[in-house]
Structure 1
């Protein structure tokens, strides 16, 4: 049953009619609250009824519920009964792509930035890192700890188009970084601000945020204004990619194993698996009413099934798929199958290191299948990706 809003209509609504409609509306409202949140019933009844009725009867104001969003009494339950129509407010997406080094975050960012109405911030951690003069490859939680708060602040500043100070100065001087964000010609604070505010939607991709809890605790996320896309990748694939990207050499020209680099491989595998574990735990702790604003996506699905995954991503953020994004998907045909290409590049001994470091539960939760021997690793018929990951109940997962 759709509840009607009461409006001031002179000479058309009597006092008794208003009271009757208000009582019926209140009864239905309380029944809904009772069915969904019984603990809030006693607190909400006097606040809601008296506040809204007094405004209507004595203030002669139309009963509107859009202003409840900023109400100190936190009457968010009313939004379930009186949702804003799409035409009431312009939709504005604020998206954080939360990933790690060599997990495919650039591809994910491109699927959003290709939309012409998205302002895109490419890895603010690069800028914050320079302020702290940190090693760009070290991504252990303890090492990145000093930059977490300024990193989150730079993300929120970008969402509000108030990006300024030292971070903005670094951004305007970095030609390569600006090119990644499609703002090659912008050099000043004013130009950057103009670019930002000219776009309705904004997306940030970062690989140096240790824990989504830092974003979940912000007012912007609590108010439902920010959505988090948590991009993960098979730990074995991530380490294989980092091995090549950072030029880790495991043998001398005479075939001797370099022990130091094996230790480095194990160390960074540990960092990545700890990151997966930390964020899975934080996802479980997101308040139930806000879990709809968090989703997990696997790189393997994004890379090999973009026609399925990208439309679901846009549905998650509440937008239609733009034609330019569709064209980008069509251009990815020759890259399909890359999601599992790592199995042809990494030998079984290093695969085993990652599997030993990352516990079995993590593999099962994200839907990755461990191998028992070298034959399974290179056998294309042996599936390394499960279509039914055992993610804890209540956490969204795009498949």
Structure 2
């Protein structure tokens, strides 16, 4: 059906830290503390992070190395790019699915804060756990940089987002 009907596939990828921040806030309002007093992720949330990273890699591989018809009818969009550059990403998405993308060039960039909101909602210790649950490969293929220290985490001038390898910057 996908091949014969020219179905378009849009894969929306989101930084595991941002995804986790949203899920934790919505489903796990209390911060998990281990018996020795250290911050940890709720076990269900940790499993969700692992599954998210597997999903990201599976879909990335499917649309970059899968059958030609799937590669031709698929597009990968990072949530962060859609948020930072809506004036470019939204028209491209509309054009990809065969709609007039020019009518939507006035996209609101008001959600740009959401790309780093995870830094407000997560503690450094939680970020380290999340990053360790996903492979370095996931971060590399999507252009997300890992936080390497608490000093980096607290530096509000750092975004931890690079251009996705193989794609033009902004």
Q: TM-score w.r.t. structure 1 length?
A: 0.38
Structure with higher Rg: it is: 1
How far did residue 322 of structure 1 move?
A: 6.1
- Structure 1 pair 292/373, CA: closer, same or farther in 2 (3 Å)? same
- 1:61-89: per-residue Cα shift (whole Å, max 9, x none)? xxxxxxxxxxxxxxxxxxxxxxxxxxxxx
Q: 2:19 aligns with which of 238, 242, 267?
A: 238
Report deviation, 1:333. Answer: 4.0
Please give the residue correspondences for 1:1-399 in structure 2 after superposition, counting only pairs within 5 Å: 219=1, 221-223=2-4, 225-251=6-32, 262-321=42-101, 323=103, 325-326=104-105, 329=107, 332-389=108-165
For residues 47 and 39 of structure 2, the distance between their equivalents in structure 1, rounded to whole angstroms, comes to 15
Task: Please list the CA deviations of residues 254-285 of structure 1 after superposition, one character each: whole Å capped at 9, or x if unmatched.
Answer: xx5687x5323322211111111222222234
Give the paired residue count. 168
CA pair 228-381 structure 1, distance change in 2 beyond 3 A: same
Q: Secondary structure at the match of 1:334?
A: coil
Is the 2:145–2:161 Cα contact (8 Å) retained in structure 1? Answer: yes
Q: Which structure has the higher relative contact order (CA within 8 Å, separation 6+)? A: 2
Secondary structure of 1:270's counterpart equals: helix
Secondary structure of 2:116's aligned partner: helix
Residue ranges of structure 1 left out of the alignment (5+ in a row) = 1-218, 392-396
Which blocks of at least 5 consecutive residues in structure 2 are unaligned? none
Deviations 1:10-56 (A, max 9, x none): xxxxxxxxxxxxxxxxxxxxxxxxxxxxxxxxxxxxxxxxxxxxxxx
CA displacement, residues 366-390 of structure 1 (integer Å, 9 cap, x when unaligned)? 1110011122123122231111426
The one-character-per-residue Cα deviations of 1:309-344 (angstroms, maximum 9, x if unpaired) are 101111212221364x455x2xx2433332222222
- CA, structure 1 residues 249+359, in 2 after alignment: closer, same or farther (shift >3 Å)? same
- Runs of 4+, deviation exceeding 4 Å: 256-259
Return the alpha-carbon distance in structure 2 between the equivalents of residues 378 and 277 of structure 1: 29
Residues 334 and 321 (structure 1), Cα distance of their counterparts in 2 relative to 1, 3 Å cut: same
Q: Secondary structure at the match of 1:229?
A: strand
In structure 1, distance between residues paired with 2:112 and 2:124: 24
